[in-house]
A and B are shown apart, each in its own frame.
Chain A
Amino acid sequence: MTTTRRIVAAAAGTIALAFAVSSCSSGGGDAVETLDPNADLSEQTLTVSIWADYSPEDLAEKFEAETGVKTTIVNHTTNEDIVAKLTASADSGIDVAFVSGQYAQALGEQGLLAKLDKGLIPNEENLYPEALDLAYDPGNVYSEPYAWGTTGLCYRPDLTGYDPTSWNDLLNPKPELVGKTTMLSTDRWLAEPALKAAGNSINTTDDDELAAAKEQLLKTKSTLLAYDDTTFYSKLVSGEAAMVQAWDGWCNYGIAEDPSIEFVVPEEGSDLWVDTMTVLESSKNKEAAMAFLNYILDPEVQTWVAENILYKVPNKAAMDALDPALIESYPTLGITVDELMEQEAIVDLGEDSLKYVDLNAEVLATN
């Protein structure tokens, strides 16, 4: 099994709870552009931008064999990276872009995304009903979900000596675990444990709540082994760390090497992130783009994600078809849709996101 990892699944995104209404009312044109269901796809070409190692290597060949569309796959490393490319010029040359939910919402609001022609994406019916009604894009007007998950504690019971249940287990570790824990330092995930432990929203913009979180995080900093967004699971495997803040899918990379590793969503709750597929308004090959989204939503194609990336997919048909042995080995794949829906979605905060940028800079730079 290839435990493929994306360097910046880190940027694995998030959903926007608020602004749901605005995403319906604004964007790239009111009506769905009339697409020709009988268009000759072999006349069209497609450029798809996706995180490295986040899709099957032979995806382009297989899709081309199925539809005749000449397909080129290009990679981006982060949401910020692809969004900068898409907003820099009117025609980026990209037809389909993979971005996290909140970024899909922001791109849609800016009129950069095409409304999806559902007539050309019948495979949408394979999705969980919940995946059709996610707050960043209710009804999947601009985006189709590709993978989703949450964040929690990934730990080695043999080293912790107990099963952690709360973010406080990480924030104020027992004396014997000091110097044996790591936290994520990217984006909004750094503040998440402190905000959740204090009973606050992960989307708060309240200065007092953020100040309290900062104080807690500074206190926690002296107990950490390291901040780590990319190799935290290897530190667990090597025994360097006993407990790490981890995205569920990435904890699986640790479990793949050491089956004793466990994952828990803390009782105070966590976040829900969704990686989505979007079609650019500037695309001149929209029929091919819709066909591509439809192809991906085929259960057999999307099963690849769960089997190889070890991420949950919002595709009911694909998850139902998953080998139970895989869920046995990787319990995070067994987290149910209901459990996932209980988590708080990270909202795009617009200009207020700067508060988190400053918070991160201050926590990371203070000794």
Chain B
Amino acid sequence: MTSTNHPAAPAARTVRRGLAPVPFLAPGMIYLILFMALPVGLLAFYTFFKRGRFGGIVFEFTLDNWVKLFEPLYVGVILQSIVLAGIVTLLALLIGYPMAYAIAGLSPKWRTVALVAVVLPFWTNFLIRTYAWILLLNNAGWVNQWLQGLGITDAPISMLYTPQAIVVGLLYMYLPLMVLPLYASLQQLDPSLREAATNLGATPWRAFRTVTLPLSIPGALTGCIFVFVPAMSNFVIPELIGGGKTIMVGNLVRDQFFEARDWPFGATLALLLTILLVIVIVVQTAVSRRLTEGPRRG
């Protein structure tokens, strides 16, 4: 029996008892092999071949797809996607944290109402919500009408079809994915820890900063992953709200399959995206583990 040196992670360790978990893991492992390892393996296999004239794969070995990946054009798009998705994630964290904190502090009845309100937009079709933003942001849209009506601006401000509009669209789309895991981690916090801090003389702000905030970081990191991963690969919002002038990795992958019919290069880009995201998740897991299980920092 391993001992835990931190109260926040008691359950995680008790599972590791030799081969006992194998029967329990098997369904999950089979699922992973069938739906993750095999498709990704196939994707990796395709990256070493040539494109067929009408799509498909011509089985002539080549490294061209991997070389092409390092052309400045593609590196630029990848970096741009990381920056845009990163900004979206940061903003989602800044907005989502107070939201989740507030929801966790509500009475059970209102908490349910608030959570439903957070999830509700997901019940409407994603494209419809995207088009709604077009109606809001365009030159004759509501936002410009209000700004002009209130006398804040004289002429319409061009908001649609800019990188900023993409950030707004992605932020709106994925904010709930930040709020929910944050809420879950904040709600699970043992209130007695905060009480202890207060009893020992900490101000509410200090109690938040030294107790609540560090303990909610794993939830925040999970939220960041939940937002960053889909934001990186979204291609509809850059096209509809961004006007197709700023493209992200998701658009590149889509275009390779549907427009260029270059499946091998599309596969290479998709695989790269997968690798990047796996790295991000590995880092996140390591950081969370360190925070919850590692020695307490001074």
A-to-B contact residues, CB < 8 Å: 78, 80, 83-84, 87-88, 106, 179, 182, 185-187, 221, 224-228, 238-240, 350-351, 354, 357, 360-362, 364-367
Residues B245 and A83 in contact, CB atoms below 8 Å apart: no
Chain B residue nearest to A84 in the complex (CB): B55
Q: Is B224 an interface residue (CB 8 A)?
A: no
Other than the given A78-B258, A179-B158, A240-B139, 18 more pairs (CB < 8 A) read A80-B259, A84-B54, A88-B56, A106-B54, A182-B243, A186-B259, A226-B243, A226-B244, A228-B243, A239-B139, A240-B160, A354-B262, A357-B260, A361-B252, A364-B255, A365-B73, A366-B73, A367-B246
- Which of A88, A350, A360 sits near B53, CB closer than 8 Å? A350
Determine the distance from Cα of A367 to Cα of B80 in the docked complex, in whole angstroms: 10
Q: Is B138 an interface residue (CB 8 A)?
A: yes
Residues B140 and A224 in contact, CB atoms below 8 Å apart: no
Q: Which residues of B contact A360 (CB under 8 A)?
A: 255, 259-260
Q: Is B136 an interface residue (CB 8 A)?
A: no
Given contacts A84-B56, A350-B53, contact A362 B73 (CB under 8 A): yes
Q: Is B161 an interface residue (CB 8 A)?
A: yes
Determine the distance from Cα of A289 to Cα of B139 in the docked complex, in whole angstroms: 50
Determine the distance from Cα of A114 to Cα of B230 in the docked complex, in whole angstroms: 45
Name 8 interchain pairs, CB-CB below 8 A, sorted by A: A80-B54, A87-B56, A106-B54, A228-B244, A240-B140, A351-B53, A357-B260, A367-B76
Q: Which residues of B contact A362 (CB under 8 A)?
A: 73
Chain B residue nearest to A88 in the complex (CB): B56
Q: Which residues of B contact A185 (CB under 8 A)?
A: 244
8 pairs of A and B residues whose beta carbons are closest in the complex: A226-B243, A227-B244, A357-B260, A84-B55, A226-B161, A83-B54, A365-B77, A87-B54
Chain B residue nearest to A83 in the complex (CB): B54
- Using a Cβ–Cβ cut-off of 8 Å, how many residues does chain B contribute to the interface with A? 29
Interface of B is mostly: loop
Given contacts A224-B245, A227-B243, contact A365 B262 (CB under 8 A): no
Chain B residue nearest to A183 in the complex (CB): B244
Q: How far is the CB of A107 from chain B (nearest CB, A)?
A: 9
Q: Give the most central of A186, A224, A367: most B CB within 10 Å.
A: A367
Q: How far is the CB of B55 from chain A (nearest CB, A)?
A: 5
Chain A residue nearest to B163 in the complex (CB): A367
Given contacts A224-B245, A226-B244, A226-B245, contact A361 B255 (CB under 8 A): yes
Residues A238 and B138 in contact, CB atoms below 8 Å apart: yes
Q: Is B194 an interface residue (CB 8 A)?
A: no
Chain B residue nearest to A8 in the complex (CB): B258
Q: Which residues of A contact B55 (CB under 8 A)?
A: 80, 83-84
- Which of B54, B73, B245 sits near A221, CB closer than 8 Å? B245
Q: Is B261 an interface residue (CB 8 A)?
A: yes
Q: Which residues of B contact A238 (CB under 8 A)?
A: 138, 140
Q: How far is the CB of A355 from chain B (nearest CB, A)?
A: 11
Chain A residue nearest to B161 in the complex (CB): A226
Q: Which residues of A contact B100 (CB under 8 A)?
A: none
Determine the distance from Cα of A106 to Cα of B53 in the docked complex, in whole angstroms: 10
Q: Which residues of B contact A361 (CB under 8 A)?
A: 73, 252, 255, 260
Q: How far is the CB of A232 from chain B (nearest CB, A)?
A: 11
Residues A225 and B161 in contact, CB atoms below 8 Å apart: yes
Q: Which residues of B contact A240 (CB under 8 A)?
A: 138-140, 160
Provide the B77-90 mask, 1 if CB < 8 A to any CB of A, else 0: 10010000000000
Q: Is B247 an interface residue (CB 8 A)?
A: yes
Determine the distance from Cα of A360 to Cα of B261 in the docked complex, in whole angstroms: 13
Determine the distance from Cα of A179 to Cα of B156 in the docked complex, in whole angstroms: 13
Q: Which residues of A contact B73 (CB under 8 A)?
A: 361-362, 365-366
Determine the distance from Cα of A362 to Cα of B71 in the docked complex, in whole angstroms: 11
Q: How far is the CB of A209 from chain B (nearest CB, A)?
A: 20
Q: Which residues of B contact A78 (CB under 8 A)?
A: 258
Determine the distance from Cα of A84 to Cα of B255 in the docked complex, in whole angstroms: 15
- Which of B53, B138, B139, B244 sits near A364, CB closer than 8 Å? B244
Q: Which residues of A contact B262 (CB under 8 A)?
A: 354, 357
Residues A357 and B259 in contact, CB atoms below 8 Å apart: yes
Q: Which residues of B contact A364 (CB under 8 A)?
A: 244-245, 247, 251, 255
Residues B243 and A225 in contact, CB atoms below 8 Å apart: yes
Q: Which residues of B contact A186 (CB under 8 A)?
A: 259
Determine the distance from Cα of A185 to Cα of B138 in the docked complex, in whole angstroms: 21
Q: Which residues of A contact B54 (CB under 8 A)?
A: 80, 83-84, 87, 106
Q: Which residues of B contact A224 (CB under 8 A)?
A: 243, 245
Provide the B243-286 mask, 1 if CB < 8 A to any CB of A, else 0: 11111000110010011111000000000000000000000000
Chain B residue nearest to A78 in the complex (CB): B258
Chain A residue nearest to B241 in the complex (CB): A226
Determine the distance from Cα of A365 to Cα of B68 in the docked complex, in whole angstroms: 14
Q: How far is the CB of A175 from chain B (nearest CB, A)?
A: 15
Q: Which residues of B contact A227 (CB under 8 A)?
A: 243-245
Determine the distance from Cα of A282 to Cα of B6 in the docked complex, in whole angstroms: 69
Chain A residue nearest to B260 in the complex (CB): A357
Determine the distance from Cα of A357 to Cα of B257 in the docked complex, in whole angstroms: 12
Q: Give the most central of B74, B244, B251, B262: most A CB within 10 Å.
A: B244
Within 8 A of A (CB), among B56-112: 56, 73-74, 76-77, 80
Q: Give the most central of B55, B74, B76, B245: most A CB within 10 Å.
A: B245
Q: How far is the CB of A84 from chain B (nearest CB, A)?
A: 5
Q: Which residues of A contact B74 (CB under 8 A)?
A: 365
Chain A residue nearest to B239 in the complex (CB): A227
Determine the distance from Cα of A57 to Cα of B195 in the docked complex, in whole angstroms: 68
Q: Which residues of A contact B140 (CB under 8 A)?
A: 238-240
Q: Which residues of B contact A83 (CB under 8 A)?
A: 54-55
Within 8 A of A (CB), among B145-201: 158, 160-161
Determine the distance from Cα of A364 to Cα of B261 in the docked complex, in whole angstroms: 17
Chain B residue nearest to A229 in the complex (CB): B244
Determine the distance from Cα of A84 to Cα of B259 in the docked complex, in whole angstroms: 12
Determine the distance from Cα of A87 to Cα of B261 in the docked complex, in whole angstroms: 13
Chain A residue nearest to B248 in the complex (CB): A365
Q: Which residues of A contact B242 (CB under 8 A)?
A: 226
